Structure formats: C-alpha cells, structure tokens
Amino acid sequence: MQHGMGRMIGDIAVERIMEYEAPFFVPHEVFREATPEALAPHRHWLEPNAMDPETGKLILPFQSYLVRTKHHTILIDTCIGCGKNITHRPEWFQRTDQTWLNNLRAAGIEAEAIDYVFCTHLHADHCGWNTSFVDGRWVPTFPNAKYVFSKIEYAAAEARNDIIFRESALPIMEAGQAQLVETDFALDDNVWLQSTPGHTAGHVAVNLASNGHSAVMCGDLIHSPIQCVHPEWSPKFDLDKPLAAETRRNFLASNAESGQLVLTAHFPSPSMGHVVVEGDAFQFKYVDD
C-alpha cells in the first residue's frame, strides 16, 4: 500500500487510486454563497491543501477507492478515463494519459482481477474508466466485473442519453455486465449501499464494515471540507440543491455521531477522515498521512 493512500477497516483493505489532484474551481463560481467575505474566516485552514493560495481555487482530487475484502476486489468509482468526449470540460476531453490505470496496476491489481465496480453516481468523473476504447468501440475495462448501478441513477442517465451515458454506462449494459439495484442494496455483510439523493437522483454512498470497524465512501454528496462548516452550501453541480443540503447535513450528523471513517471523493489528500461536531455545524479531521 502506498504511503498515505490506504487504510484497513477490520479485514478490508481500502486504498485510493488517484487520477490527478489540482486546483479546480473558484469557490463562488460553484457555491453561490462562497463570496470572498464568506471564505475569509476559513482561508487559514483551507490553505494550502484544500485551497490554492495562488489562484484561490479549491483543490480537488479525482480518485477511486480500491476495496479488498476477504471475498471480493472492488472499485468504488472510476474517475474520468481516456479518450472520453466530455464536451463540457476541456481538461477532461479526450484525455490520453493512463495514470489511473497505471496506479491501479501499481497497487497490484490487473483489470481482470476486479469483481465489482460500484458507481456512486454516473457523472463524468465517477464512471469514466468503466469503459475503454478498443478496436473502435467502448468496452468494459474490467472484463470479469459486475458493475453495480442504482436503478434510479441508471434510468436518469438513460433518459438524458448524453455522451457520458453512451460512452461509460450503456456499453456496460450491452455487455451484460450491469447489475441494476435498489439504493439500499447489500452485496454482503461487508459492503452495502445507502441512498444519498440530491447531487443526482440515484446517488448512493458505499458502506464498508468488518470486525466492528466501519467506513463509508460518500461520493459527491459533499465536495469540499468548506461544506462541513456550511452544509447548506450546495454546488451548482447538485441536481436538487435543497435535497442535497438535507442529505449532506444528515450524513455529517450521523457520521459525527458514529465516528466512523469517511472516505471522500474530492476532499484534498489524504481525503479520508472523521467528521466532528463544531458549533451548529461540523469539521473534518483528516487521518494522519
């Protein structure tokens, strides 16, 4: 396990597989409440890891979680991918670098070894490596995997029928490797889903438990640690902003109470930590790197 990338949850090994991490967006362009004045009291703890002092942009990683239980080798989310025609983000359009796949290999995992792929939701940066472009068509990157999608999420993506759906989800269905499930689906005692709607209609968090230890991968129900202090800040990416805010606050409250490890998609490295109550909101305590 690479330094700072992994943790044990009982018998379950969890490891981040990074695609890239960089300053990504100016806060107030994404959170309308995040004016320079509103951010001023928080810059001292946001900078330099969560907020780039030079550009003022929030720093986001794009990463997956590799989960190894006694029974299964699982990927939670599959980042952006290569060659995808993601027209709304020039930096994601037809990327050519294989960093993510190389990092998966560096963790000792070949594509054939993945048993399950879970997508918290079907946005471009969470399902990209689901597929690879081979001999002129998109095929599953993981030939032996079942890909678990929430039914609601898949139906919403299918209705949109955008390029992300056609390149990264539909080919999985056509290959017979999709497993559409309810949002409370349990794979076994170690791995189960939790409905966390708002960011998207069928968004799920992925719970992990073993030997009295537990963790949860939260996907995009929260994007930045600033939302621990301001759970009511829903980014423009959230489909239903009031519902996303309600889901976020409930999630933070229940995780502050349980104290379990939270594996975030987009908080800066090391991305994992614990939610604690602070006043009428929360704070995120990162694990030691």
Residues that bind Zn ion (CB under 5 A): 125, 220
CB-nearer residue toward Zn ion: 12 or 147:
147
Backbone angles phi, psi at 141, to 5 degrees: -70, -30
Nearest distance, CB of residue 249 and Zn ion, angstroms: 19
| Separation of alpha carbons 122 and 139, rounded Å | 17
- At 12, is the secondary structure helix, strand, or coil? strand
What end-to-end distance do the CA atoms of the chain give, in Å? 13
CB-nearer residue toward Zn ion: 68 or 84:
84
| Separation of alpha carbons 20 and 36, rounded Å | 26
Nearest distance, CB of residue 123 and Zn ion, angstroms: 6
- At 30, is the secondary structure helix, strand, or coil? helix
Nearest distance, CB of residue 220 and Zn ion, angstroms: 4
Nearest distance, CB of residue 78 and Zn ion, angstroms: 11
CB-nearer residue toward Zn ion: 19 or 125:
125
| Separation of alpha carbons 53 and 39, rounded Å | 12
- At 283, is the secondary structure helix, strand, or coil? strand
CB-nearer residue toward Zn ion: 15 or 220:
220
CB-nearer residue toward Zn ion: 114 or 127:
127
Q: Which helix H or strand E contains 286, and what residues bound it?
A: strand 281-286
Nearest distance, CB of residue 164 and Zn ion, angstroms: 12
> Tell me, what amino acid is at 250?
N
Q: What pairing do the DSSP bridges indicate for beta strands 6-9 and 213-217?
A: unpaired
